[in-house]
Amino acid sequence: MISTTLTTTTPLMNFKDMPFTSLNEYGGLDSSSHLFRGIGMRPIKDPESATLIVFNGGADIGTKIYHERPAYRGVPFEPSRRDEEEIAIFNRFPNTFKLGICRGAQLLNCLNGGTLWQDVDRHTRDHMIVDTRTGEKIRATSTHHQMMRPNYKTGVVIATADESTRKLANPDHWEAGHSLFYPDDHKDTEIVWYPQTRTLCIQGHPEYVPGSRFADYCFELMSEFMQESLQFAG
């Protein structure tokens, strides 16, 4: 059951029978559908009819997407076919609510003008994250070695952590003039919301722990920001 204790005063929306598409083409793995089916959402294949499009976890995205060269050997520069297909879906459905999980969050963050730390330490284990608005501390899953660096001009950082002691990026941008200012590089960005594109990026894996406070918290954020998007559209 989803918790009724929200991070805001917004009532939890009814997800029952809400159509969602969980992307799993071209090397992607649909690991999240069971989580959304568990709250009554209805899986469909066609994003055209979906209320929610889920971008799942997986391999590192090409650094070309966020205008950097690989910082070390093994990190891909060119986007994969999966990267290209998911970028096309992001661009095709600007008004559909989009949720990114782990690698999906990293991709969506970059498509909203952010970049990535190409390698960080201490993020292959569960740890505490902090809601930036309420101060609530929540144990989150963590299996990643890369991490979001948000676009602070359009994104709202919702949750952070203080885990990593080493962050690696490549400041040698291949595209002239592309740069971002990071006011809180000492913080690990865990969740970021981009209202203009209806995009919620979650670095952890709530689908690994259904019924946990972390999974409930992610549903609460979905509910809050979906309702915000509907109000904005109206």
CATH number at residue 100: 3.40.50.880
In a domain, 148, yes or no: yes
Q: Which amino acid is at 107?
A: L
Q: Which amino acid is at 95?
A: N
Q: What is the pLDDT of residue 203?
A: 98
In a domain, 6, yes or no: no
Q: Tell me how many domains the chain contains.
A: 1
In a domain, 4, yes or no: no
Q: What is the pLDDT of residue 94?
A: 96
Does position 3 have pLDDT exceeding 80, yes or no? no
Q: Is there a contact between 106 and 205 (Cβ–Cβ < 8 Å)?
A: no
Q: Which domain holds residue 100?
A: 19-233
Question: 126-184, pLDDT tens digit by residue?
Answer: 999 999 999 999 999 999 999 999 999 999 999 999 998 888 887 665 554 455 555 55
Give the global pTM. Answer: 0.91
In a domain, 14, yes or no: no
Q: What is the pLDDT of residue 170?
A: 77
Average of per-residue pLDDT across 213-223: 98
Percent of the chain with pLDDT over 70: 88
First and final CA of the chain: distance in angstroms? 30
Does position 4 have pLDDT exceeding 70, yes or no? no
Residues 55 and 102: their CA atoms lie apart, in Å, by 9
Could you tell me which of 220, 216, 198 has the C-alpha nearest to residue 207?
Answer: 216
Higher per-residue confidence, 221 vs 68:
221
In a domain, 7, yes or no: no
Q: What is the pLDDT of residue 1?
A: 37
Does position 188 have pLDDT exceeding 60, yes or no? yes
In a domain, 71, yes or no: yes
Residues 39 and 216: their CA atoms lie apart, in Å, by 10
